[in-house]
Amino acid sequence: MNLTSMAGGVSLSATHAHPGGVHTLLLCLPGRPDHGPDLMAFAQLRLEHIGVDASASELLCPRHLMAAPAPGSAPAPVCAADAGLLALHDTGRHHLEAALDIYEQWRRVVADTGHAKTLARVPLLRIGDPATDRPAWRQIIDQPRLRAMTAADPQLLLPEHAEGLGLGLHALQSGQQRYTAYAIATAMFGHALLPVTGPLMRSGPGLPHADHLAARMRYADAAADYLAGLHDATVLTLHFTLPS
């Protein structure tokens, strides 16, 4: 999670960079397979089943979202029974403190700017993309509040961070309590979970920046309930774009 100040700037996003895409998926596999070719092959089959054509090993996140991030940690699966998934109190407290820090930074950054429309219904574009001159994009980005936010944290303009200008901004403007609930849910459970058996669980049908807050929270509750009953299973955290 990128829930703390960045060196030389401010981080206003409750999600860390997703180099392989814009969704965070918790992939649950049965048993305790070793981290090796067999595990990756099994993960690959599960991804293909939900329409993802990419290498599972290249999509692994270096930090497990349900635990406090370990600096320098390498990508690896975790065993549900060994990872303390039931002991969520300390993990939740860690993310709560970080979310409160973001919320206070955001209030200082946007002081005197007024309520703003979010990026929720605008397609994600990269900095420098000629399409950023489209009226719908410019109408959103040129608002005083968003100008202040992107000046403080230019990474918000990248697809990997743009949830901070969509659902994230909606949550921020909904008040401290709703924002912290959103940030903790996103930190711990990402945007989707593929159970050992059964259909994909996800927070919305499209890209995460366009999710509805109520749907994100319903997904997080369902993911928490599922993980609480998960015992001998392996969980991988991956980043990519899910099919709509």
pLDDT for res 5: 39
pLDDT for res 21: 78
pLDDT for res 136: 78
**pLDDT tier, 3 (very low <50, low <70, confident <90, very high otherwise):** very low
pLDDT for res 126: 56
- Cα→Cα distances 188→95, 139, 151, 191, 211, Å: 8, 33, 28, 10, 17
**pLDDT tier, 137 (very low <50, low <70, confident <90, very high otherwise):** confident
Side chain identity at 118, as an amino acid letter?
A: T
**pLDDT tier, 90 (very low <50, low <70, confident <90, very high otherwise):** low
Nearest to 157 by CA among 146, 172, 173, 170: 146
In this prediction, residues 73-94 reach a mean pLDDT of 62
Asked if residues 202 and 192 have their Cβ atoms less than 8 Å apart, the reply is yes
CB atoms within 10 A of CB 44: 17
| Range of lowest pLDDT (25-39, 86-100, 164-178) | 86-100
Side chain identity at 93, as an amino acid letter?
A: R
User: What's the pLDDT tens digit per position in 27-77?
Assistant: 998 887 666 678 888 899 999 999 999 888 888 876 554 554 455 555 566
pLDDT higher than threshold 90 for residue 234: no
Tokens of 26: 């918790």
Cα(81)–Cα(87) distance, integer angstroms: 11
User: What's the pLDDT tens digit per position in 6-25?
Assistant: 444 788 988 877 777 789 99
Burial (Cβ within 10 Å: 0-12, 13-18, ≥19) of residue 53: exposed
User: What's the pLDDT tens digit per position in 109-123?
Assistant: 999 999 999 988 887
Cα(206)–Cα(167) distance, integer angstroms: 12
User: What's the pLDDT tens digit per position in 172-230?
Assistant: 999 999 999 999 999 889 999 999 999 999 999 998 999 999 999 999 999 988 988 88
